[in-house]
Amino acid sequence: MNSSVSALTLFQPREVRRMAHRLLDLAQAGALAHVRVDPARLGEALVTVLETTRADYPDFHIPPYGIWRDFEAGGIDRWGAMAGARNFESAGEMLAAATDLAVLGTFMKTRHPQGWTYEDRMTGTRATGRQATALAVFHMFAAGSFSAEMTDPYRVDAETLIRLETAELAFGLQWDMADDAGLLEDMQRHLKRLGEALALRPDLFADGDAIRPGALATRLAKDQDGAVSAGVLLDRLLEALAPVWVGGAQQGEISLGDSFVHSALTDQEAASTVPFHLAAQEMVYGLVEPFAWAGLEVAGLEELTAPADDIHAALFVHCGVLEVLSEAGDLPFREAQDRMIELRAVGSALTDRLADLLRRELGVPADQLPLTCILEGGTHRAGGQILERAEGKANELGKFLNPGSVFWLPFGA
């Protein structure tokens, strides 16, 4: 790794975007081993995204992208019902609770049992994949599973995360104690690491004697005048939580979280580490609405990047923009990791290109059609539908995107 590139640099959204576009440039030049790009096919992706957006949001009144859409599975405003019943005494209390839920819900979107379906027994809604995780976390949160205060169930306390038992996780997630024992133990360790990371940073997460994610939001809300910076939010989250996402690149003793070293980027003039920070950026996207409910804007969302995930890769593979050159068979680990990096980075960078095309097609500037709305209204929905149909190579993307079976990556392996 190039020692001249600091961990702080790799935590910045502009570095995430810069490295993604660098991989895209290499793909277009035919210089990558595992993916190829055909920019001429972006028109097909544009049509797919426009059709999806017009079907779901014909008036183009698109809500922001984030985990709150998963909490609304089945068209049900679960948070509205919960908040109404709780009757928060202040905007600060509501902001802290909503932040707790959004951060934990995103954090728990990890690998899950194959074929798992979660049933929301309150509404009869059934969900799979990451939406299933969101619903499970929501109902565990509502039941007080993450709270250290019996009189205040709607919170996430570090001490509770540290001591959660697998039996409670199995019950809440609707996982099988025997068949899913390995994943339950992984989730237990994952949550314990989060609780410990929060406890190590009382300067960010302390709320009196309690340590909880929501304290970061209320602290920032007090320090800002009408707006909170998305870049500052991301920086604070990564500063504290990057070590929790183990298995990626390291810089000395510093874990760089969701960042990986690509073997083709070992020249002397640029770093070989490609950062993604998928979960941390998803947390920031998920905080837009809690801050809005508290009367604050999250400014600078344009700094964030499109999710480097299987959903966006699936969209471009399906439309012929992105081609996977290697087959699904086993590769040496280093090559398999390079393929994962290429797919994630190029898929994210192509979303930027597609967003520009979409705005030109509709004749609207970026401030009227920000990336967060393009993700929610088009690319995320279209790619998700392609994955649900499991068409062609999209069906193999989970294997490609998590070659080391890293637990915290939300891709099947």
pTM over 0.85: yes
**Gap between the Cα atoms of 375 and 63, Å rounded:** 10
In sequence order, the 6+-apart residues with CB closer than 8 A to the CB of 139 are 120, 122, 172
In order of 97, 101, 297, 377, the CA distances from 293 in angstroms are 12, 14, 9, 21
- For residue 120, give both structure tokens: 């929301």
**CA Rg, the chain, in Å?**
20
Cβ atoms 153, 163 nearer than 8 A? no
φ, ψ for residue 199, nearest 5 deg:
-65, -30
Cβ atoms 402, 111 nearer than 8 A? yes
**Gap between the Cα atoms of 194 and 361, Å rounded:** 43
pLDDT tens over the chain, length 413 residues: 444 457 778 888 899 999 999 999 999 999 999 999 999 999 999 999 999 999 999 998 999 999 999 999 999 999 999 999 998 999 999 999 999 999 999 999 999 998 899 999 999 999 998 999 999 999 999 999 999 998 999 999 999 999 999 999 999 999 999 999 999 999 999 999 999 999 999 999 999 999 999 999 999 998 777 899 999 999 999 999 999 999 888 888 888 999 999 988 866 345 789 999 999 999 999 999 999 999 999 999 999 999 999 999 999 999 999 999 987 677 898 999 999 999 999 999 999 999 999 999 999 999 899 999 999 999 999 999 998 887 555 567 888 999 888 999 998 74
Give me the helices (H) in 287-396, please.
288-293, 310-318, 333-362, 371-374, 380-389
Give the burial string for 327-361 (b: 16+ CB within 10 Å, else e). eeeebeeeebbbbbbbbbbbbbbbbbbbbebbbee
Cβ atoms 197, 213 nearer than 8 A? no
Q: Mapping DSSP to helix (H, G, I), strand (E, B) and coil, where does residue 58 land?
A: coil
What is the bridge-based pairing of β-strands 297-299 and 227-229? Answer: parallel
Q: Mapping DSSP to helix (H, G, I), strand (E, B) and coil, where does residue 121 land?
A: coil
Helix 42-56 / helix 333-362 crossing angle, nearest 10 deg: 70
**Gap between the Cα atoms of 1 and 206, Å rounded:** 35
Would you list the DSSP string of 156-215? Answer: --HHHHHH--HHHHHHHHT--TTTTHHHHHHHHHHHHHHHHHHHT-HHHHEETTEE-THH
